[in-house]
Amino acid sequence: MKWSEVREHFPERCVLVEALKSESRGKERIIKQMSVIGDFENGNAAWKVYKKLHGENQNRELYIFHTNNEEIKVIEQPYIGVRRRV
């Protein structure tokens, strides 16, 4: 789906999406196609599902957006932090 289709199908909702087709342009991540994993009344509920799915597979490109936003913008930032050795 494109973002316009997601907004149409899930008005005034938080949506957890997975990017299916995306690319980087400069520091921005452009999501061309996405799949809706779930829709929620609030971000807290979406965040719980995000954390579970991200914990299972960190390679999935997951995002939470609110459909009130006409456009979505994802700014890429390098990870600055401590990584644990297991």
pLDDT tens digits for range 21-74:
999 999 999 999 999 999 999 999 999 999 999 999 999 999 999 999 999 999
Instruction: Report in angstroms the alpha-carbon separations of 36 from 26, 57, 85.
Output: 26, 17, 33
Instruction: Report in angstroms the alpha-carbon separations of 22 from 2, 41, 74, 83.
Output: 11, 26, 11, 26
76 backbone φψ class: left, alpha, beta (φ>0; ψ -120 to 50): beta
Domains of the chain by residue range: 3-75
pTM of the model as a whole: 0.87
The kind and range of the H/E element at 71 are: none
Return the pLDDT at 83: 63
Query: Which two three-digit tokens encode residue 84?
Result: 């644990």
For 40, other C-beta atoms within 10 Å of its C-beta total 18
pLDDT tens digits for range 23-33:
999 999 999 99
